[in-house]
Structure 1
Amino acid sequence: MVNILLIVVFLLLGFFLQRFKFVPANTSKYLNNYLIYVVLPALALRYLPQIKLRTELFLPVAAAWIGFGLSWLIFGTLGKKYGWGNSITGCLVITAGLANTSFVGIPIMQALYGEEAVIIALLIDQAGSFIIVSSVAVIVASIYSVGKKRKRDITRKILTFPPFLFFLIAFGLNFYGLEIGGRFEALLQVITATLTPVALTSVGLQVKVDFAALKSKFLWYGLSYKLLLIPLVILLLFKYVFQLEGLILQVSVMEAAMAPMITGSIIAITHDLEPKLASLLVGIGIPLSFFTLAIWYFILS
C-alpha cells in the first residue's frame, strides 16, 4: 500500500512542479537521461544475470509485439476504410500501440507484485517495447509521414542505446553463470531504488492535460484500444490459449494495460503525425490508466 501511495505522490509532485517557474523547463529531459543512462542499465545488471530463463518468459515479450502489431492492423485498416488520413492513422498506430512499460510500468509492477515482477517487466520493456519503438515504430512513422528514415540509422540507434547494451551484457553474464556481488551490487541497489521517485516525477512533469480536446473521437479510439482492448486480448490469449497463469500472466496483462509510451508520442510528434493528438493520448492516458489498471488488477487477483 505504501508503494502505491508513493507512486501517486511522485506523479502528483511532477504534475504540480510544472506550475512553478523556478523549475527549469528541461528538468524532465535531465531526469529521463538519468533513467536511460543510469537506472535502466543498473536494473538490467542487478536482475537479469540471476534470472532462470524459461520458454514461458518469451510470452510476456511477445505481448508487446502483439500489442503493436494489432494496433497497426486495426488502425491501419480503419484509417483506410474511413479515410482518416495518414497523419491520424500513423499517430494512432504508434502511440496507442506502445505501452509505457518502463517509466510507469516497472515502478507499478514493483509496487504491486514485488521484485520478481521487475524482472519480467524489464524483459517486456527491453526485448519488446524498446526494440519496437526504436525500429518498427520509426519505420511506421516513415511510412505515414513525408520524411524518411534510413535503415542504417535505425540499426545504429538500437545498438548504441545504453539500456539495450546493458541488457545484452546482463544476458551474457546470465549465460556464463556470473552474478554481480559485493560493493557493486550494493551500488546497483542504491541506484535502482531511485527508479520510482525519479521516473514518476519525470512523467508528472511531462503530463499535459487539455480538457478542451476531450471531445476528439480519435483520442477515445486510441485510449480504448490501449487501456481496454489490448489487455483483454492478452488476457484471453495467454490464459486460455497458452494456459499461462500466476505472476507471468499478471505482469503481461498489466504491462499491456499501461498508458501510451511517452517516447512513442515523441516519435509521432517529430514525424508530424498529428502532434496534438499524440500529446493528448499521453496526457490523458497516464492519469486515466491509474483507474483502468486498478480494474485489471482486481480482475487478475
Structure 2
Amino acid sequence: MTQILLIPAFLLLGILLQKIKNLPTTLPKLLNNYLIFIVLPALALKYLPIIELQLELVLPITSAWITFGLSWLIFGSLGKFFHWRNSLTGCLIITAGLSNTSFVGIPIVRALYGDEAVKIALLIDQGGSFILVSSIAVIVASIYSEEKKRKRDITKKIVTFPPFIFFILAITMNLTNITPPEFLSIPLDIIALSLTPVALTSVGLQVKVSLPAIKNPYLWTGLGYKLLFIPFFVLILFKYLFQLDGLVLQVSVIESAMAPMITGSIIAISHGLEPKLASLLVGVGIPLSFVTIAGWYWVLA
C-alpha cells in the first residue's frame, strides 16, 4: 500500500517543484536521460536474466502487444482521416498504447491479488511493455517525428538505444543461464528503487494542468482508449475467445487498464511528439486510473 501512496506523492512533488524560482529548466531532461540511460538498463539486468519463461503465460504477455498494436492501428487511421499533425498521431499511439505495467501496475496488482499475481504482472511488463518501449515505440517515434529520418537512421537509433541493448543482453543471459555478478545486486536494487520517484517527479515537472488543457479533446481521446476501451477489449477477447479465467485473466485485464506508461511519454517528449499532451496524458491518467481500475476490479470480481 505504501508503494501505491508514493505514486501520487511524487507526481505532486514534481508539480510543486515548478513553483520554485530559478529551478534549472534542463532538470526534466536530465531526469529523463537518467531513466533512459541508467534505470531502464538496470531493470533489464535485474529482472530479465532470472525470469522463468513459461509457455502458458505467453497469452497474458500478448495483452501489452495487443494494446500497442490497436493503438497504432486506431490512432494511425484517425490521424490520416482527420489530417492530424504527425506529432499528435505519434504522441497518441505511443502514450495511449503503452500501459504503466511496472511501477504503477505491479504495486496495484500486488495490493489487489497478492504476490502470486506479481509473477504474471512482471512477465507482462518485461515480455510486453518493456520490449515495446525499448524498440517498437522508438520506431514509431522516429516515423512520426517532425525530424524525418532514413530507415538506416531509425535502425541505428534502436540498436544503439541503451534499454534495447541491455534487453538483448539480459535475454541472452536468461537463455544461457547466466546471472548478473553478485556485486551488482545492491547497485541494481538501489537504481531500481529510484525509478518511481524520479520518473513521477519528472512527469510532474512537465505537467501543466489548466482548464484549457483539461478540455483538450485529444487528452480524453487517449485516456478513453487507455482506461476504458482497451481493458474492455482484452476482457472480451481473453474471456470469451481464449477462455481464460482466474488470476491470469484478472491480471491481464487490470494491467491493460493501467494509466499510460511514464517511459512511453518520455520517449514521445524526447522526440518532440506533443510534449505537453504526453505529460498531461500521464499526469491526469495516473490519478484517474485509480478510479477506473477500481471499476474493472469490481467487474472482474
Same fold, judged at TM 0.5 (above): yes
Say if 1:281 and 1:164 are closer, same or farther in 2 by CA, change over 3 A: same
Query: What is the CA deviation profile of residues 77-124 of structure 1, one whole-angstrom value per residue up to 9, with x for unaligned ones?
Result: 44555x454555555444433444556556655776656334532222
CA contact (8 A) 1:106 1:122 kept: no
CA contact (8 A) 1:65 1:129 kept: no
2:130 matches 1:126: yes
Which residue does 1:18 correspond to in 2?
18
CA contact (8 A) 1:137 1:264 kept: no
Alignment coverage as a number of residue pairs = 296
Which residue does 1:257 correspond to in 2?
257
Which residue does 2:290 correspond to in 1?
290
CA–CA separation in structure 2 for the residues paired with 1:246 and 1:129: 28
What is the SS of the residue equivalent to 2:228?
helix
Structure-to-structure mapping, 1:32-111, within 5 angstroms: 32-79=32-79, 83-87=82-86, 89=89, 91-101=91-101, 104-105=104-105
What is the SS of the residue equivalent to 1:148?
coil
Which amino acid is 1:293 matched to? Answer: I
| Deviation, structure 1 residue 179 | 1.9
What is the SS of the residue equivalent to 1:172?
helix
CA–CA separation in structure 1 for the residues paired with 2:8 and 2:271: 32
Which residue does 1:31 correspond to in 2?
31
CA–CA separation in structure 1 for the residues paired with 2:246 and 2:37: 32
Query: What is the CA deviation profile of residues 37-87 of structure 1, one whole-angstrom value per residue up to 9, with x for unaligned ones?
Result: 222222211211111112244334433332233223333444555x45455
CA contact (8 A) 2:96 2:226 kept: yes
Say if 1:26 and 1:90 are closer, same or farther in 2 by CA, change over 3 A: closer
Which amino acid is 2:96 matched to? Answer: A
CA–CA separation in structure 2 for the residues paired with 1:59 and 1:161: 27
Which residue does 1:136 correspond to in 2?
140
2:209 matches 1:209: yes
TM-score computed with the length of structure 1 as normaliser = 0.81
Say if 1:101 and 1:175 are closer, same or farther in 2 by CA, change over 3 A: same
Which residue does 1:234 correspond to in 2?
234
CA–CA separation in structure 2 for the residues paired with 1:240 and 1:7: 34
| Deviation, structure 1 residue 155 | 1.0
Unpaired runs of 5+ residues, structure 2, are none
CA contact (8 A) 1:230 1:257 kept: yes
Which residue does 2:192 correspond to in 1?
192
2:183 matches 1:183: yes
Which amino acid is 1:164 matched to? Answer: F
Which amino acid is 1:160 matched to? Answer: T
| Deviation, structure 1 residue 159 | 0.9
Which amino acid is 1:17 matched to? Answer: L
CA contact (8 A) 2:142 2:149 kept: yes
CA–CA separation in structure 2 for the residues paired with 1:297 and 1:120: 18
CA contact (8 A) 1:47 1:119 kept: no
CA–CA separation in structure 1 for the residues paired with 2:271 and 2:163: 24
| Deviation, structure 1 residue 175 | 0.9
What root-mean-square deviation, in Å, do the aligned CA atoms of Structure 1 and Structure 2 show? 3.2
Which amino acid is 2:133 matched to? Answer: S
CA–CA separation in structure 1 for the residues paired with 2:191 and 2:272: 36
Which residue does 1:155 correspond to in 2?
155
Q: Percent identity?
A: 60
CA contact (8 A) 2:134 2:163 kept: no
